[in-house]
């Protein structure tokens, strides 16, 4: 591969088979950057397999893993900041069962917890901004609060273009029609893989889309 590429991958939510298919389509090279937009856990059946694949992917390319709101809640539970019921209502049982059916949070390996703790809140290149949830059009990502970056949905009234002129790529707001939401200055690539839609990746330079379903 003659030139480096940059890809973003939307919310994975335990869909390890879909992730495997997407990575085969991308065929990551050492100079490529892959930005995963968070929400590795919950809803889908294979959180364990998702994290194992991503940990291995670090040896194949430049991997940037962003934190999602579901991932944040899991860490908050492990650190005693919130009650576990909050995660269980959002598909947390599937996360636990992927490690040991009927088990507990104690069954999640320390190296997988460390993977989540190392995730970033945001990332940017010379041309693009990346966050799980949304952005403040008037602030640098580094000065944007975590609630906006992790929890704010991309819904009307949509945010204005970022003052930097960079295009934003986000996830979090699952598109029920399973189509990428392209507003020009911002893309949402959460196409509802865990709801029967597809996992979406995009080459941000060419806008080429790659999609894979969990069950196909």
The arithmetic mean of pLDDT across residues 13-21, rounded, is: 98
Instruction: Give residue 1's pLDDT.
Output: 43
Question: pLDDT tens digit string along 84-141?
Answer: 888 888 899 999 999 999 999 999 999 999 999 999 999 999 999 999 999 999 999 9
Question: What's the pLDDT at 2?
Answer: 53
Domains, in order of start, for the chain: 6-212 (3.60.21.10)
Confidence of residue 3 (pLDDT cuts 50, 70, 90): confident
- Tally of CA atoms within 13 A in the half-sphere of 151 that contains its CB: 5
pLDDT in tens, 178-192: 899 999 999 999 999
Provide the 8-state DSSP code for 186.
Answer: E
CA distance 44 to 16: 8
Q: Which residue has the tokens 């069962």?
A: 97
Q: What is the pLDDT of residues 144-199, one digit of tens each?
A: 999 999 999 999 999 999 999 999 999 999 998 889 999 999 999 999 999 999 99
Q: Beta strand 186-188 with 181-182: parallel, antiparallel or unpaired?
A: antiparallel
**DSSP-assigned states of every residue in 114-160:** HHHHT-BSEEE-SSEEEESS---TTS-GGGS-HHHHHT----SSPPP
45-81 pLDDT, tens digit per residue, is: 999 999 999 999 999 999 999 999 999 999 999 999 9
Q: What is the mean pLDDT of residues 6-34?
A: 98
Q: Measured between alpha carbons, how far is 204 from 41 in angstroms, rounded to an integer?
A: 25
CA distance 9 to 27: 13
pLDDT bin (cut points 50, 70, 90) of residue 215 is: confident
Question: Which of the 8 DSSP states describes residue 66?
Answer: B
| Prior bond of 155 cis (ω within 30°) | no
- What's the pLDDT score for residue 176? 83
Do residues 150 and 119 lie in contact, with contact meaning Cβ atoms separated by under 8 Å? no
- Dist CA 6 CA 208 (whole Å): 11
What is the DSSP pairing of strand 33-36 with strand 6-9?
Answer: parallel
């Amino acid at each position: 591969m003659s030139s480096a590429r940059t890809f973003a991958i939307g919310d994975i939510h335990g869909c390890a088979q879909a992730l495997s298919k997407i990575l085969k389509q991308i065929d990551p090279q050492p100079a490529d950057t892959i930005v995963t937009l968070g929400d590795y856990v919950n809803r889908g059946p294979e959180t364990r397999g998702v994290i194992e694949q991503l940990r291995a992917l670090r040896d194949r390319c430049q991997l940037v893993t962003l934190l999602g709101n579901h991932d944040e809640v899991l860490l908050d539970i492990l650190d005693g900041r919130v009650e576990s019921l909050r995660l269980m209502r959002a598909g947390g049982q599937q996360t636990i069962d992927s490690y040991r059916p009927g088990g507990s949070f104690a069954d999640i390996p320390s190296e997988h917890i460390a993977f989540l703790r190392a995730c970033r809140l945001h990332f940017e290149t010379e041309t693009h901004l990346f966050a799980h949830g949304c952005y403040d059009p008037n602030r640098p990502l580094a000065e944007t609060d975590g609630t906006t970056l992790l929890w704010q949905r991309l819904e009307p009234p949509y945010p204005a273009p970022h003052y930097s002129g960079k295009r934003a790529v986000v996830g979090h707001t699952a598109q029920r029609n399973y189509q990428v939401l392209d507003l020009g200055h911002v893309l949402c690539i959460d196409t509802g893989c865990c709801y029967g839609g597809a996992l979406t990746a995009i080459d941000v330079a060419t806008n080429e889309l790659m999609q894979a379903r969990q069950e196909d």
